């Protein structure tokens, strides 16, 4: 193990008991799982919006400016 790795791990887990370190690893894994679930739901939402179609803004008279209506 390199000294940099040792000091990084010591800074993260230094004052913890073994049970605290295990609980932290468990919470980090749960957090990663929840982040993936949220990302999946967001992708589903985007796919549904694309499937249903988004309202498009229409241009007045085919010009580059809108008449303000």
The pLDDT tens digits for 39-52 are: 999 999 999 988 88
Residue 68 · residue 61 · CB < 8 Å: no
The pLDDT tens digits for 9-62 are: 888 888 889 899 899 999 999 999 999 999 999 999 999 988 888 666 666 666
Instruction: Tell me what pLDDT residue 61 has.
Output: 63
What predicted TM-score, i.e. pTM, was given to this entire model? Answer: 0.57
Counting other chains too, the contacts that 48-54 makes at CB distance below 8 Å and 24 or more residues apart are none
């Amino acid at each position: 193990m390199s000294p940099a790795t040792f000091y990084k791990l010591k800074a993260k887990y230094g004052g913890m008991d073994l049970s605290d370190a295990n609980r932290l690893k468990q919470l980090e894994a749960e957090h990663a799982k929840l982040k993936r679930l949220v990302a999946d739901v967001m992708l589903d939402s985007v796919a549904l919006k694309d499937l249903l179609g988004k309202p498009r803004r229409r241009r007045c008279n085919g010009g580059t400016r809108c008449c303000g209506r």
